[in-house]
């Protein structure tokens, strides 16, 4: 199983997000039943907002490094191109 070391605030944020999603589903079903209850929509928006506020404190996951080779080769090509442009400018200045 996963090693779940999320802080308590992040877990509470996830709870609020799930509850907000449930309240939104209740709003949609009330709309489909032709008895629209906007209280569910407002509760869903409130819970989703609170959940997002708590959840945004979670640290981003570490980089997997899948495209490190491509990134490195692009940086090397960019550096080489800059060096060539600089050498070309220096050659123009000497003339």
24-74: per-residue pLDDT in tens?
Answer: 999 999 999 999 989 999 999 999 999 999 988 787 778 777 888 888 899
In this prediction, residue 89 has a pLDDT band, given cuts at 50, 70 and 90, of confident
Neighbours of 19 (CB within 10 A): 16
In this prediction, residue 1 has a pLDDT band, given cuts at 50, 70 and 90, of very low
Tell whether 3 and 39 lie within a shared domain.
yes
Tell whether 45 and 4 lie within a shared domain.
yes
Task: State yes or no: pLDDT of 3 exceeds 90.
Answer: no
Tell whether 46 and 74 lie within a shared domain.
no
Per the structure, the complete domain to which residue 20 belongs is given by 1-58
In this prediction, residues 12-19 reach a mean pLDDT of 94
Q: What is the pTM of this model?
A: 0.60
Tell whether 34 and 75 lie within a shared domain.
no
Q: How many domains does the chain have?
A: 2
Tell whether 33 and 75 lie within a shared domain.
no
């Amino acid at each position: 199983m996963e090693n779940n070391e999320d802080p308590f605030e992040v877990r509470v944020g996830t709870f609020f997000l799930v509850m907000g999603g449930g309240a939104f589903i209740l709003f949609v079903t009330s709309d489909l039943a032709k008895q629209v209850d906007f209280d569910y929509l407002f509760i869903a928006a409130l819970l989703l907002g609170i959940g997002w506020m708590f959840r945004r404190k979670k640290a981003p996951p570490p980089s997997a490094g899948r495209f490190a080779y491509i990134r490195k080769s692009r940086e090397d090509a960019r550096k080489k191109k800059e060096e060539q442009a600089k050498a070309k400018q220096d050659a123009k200045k000497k003339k």
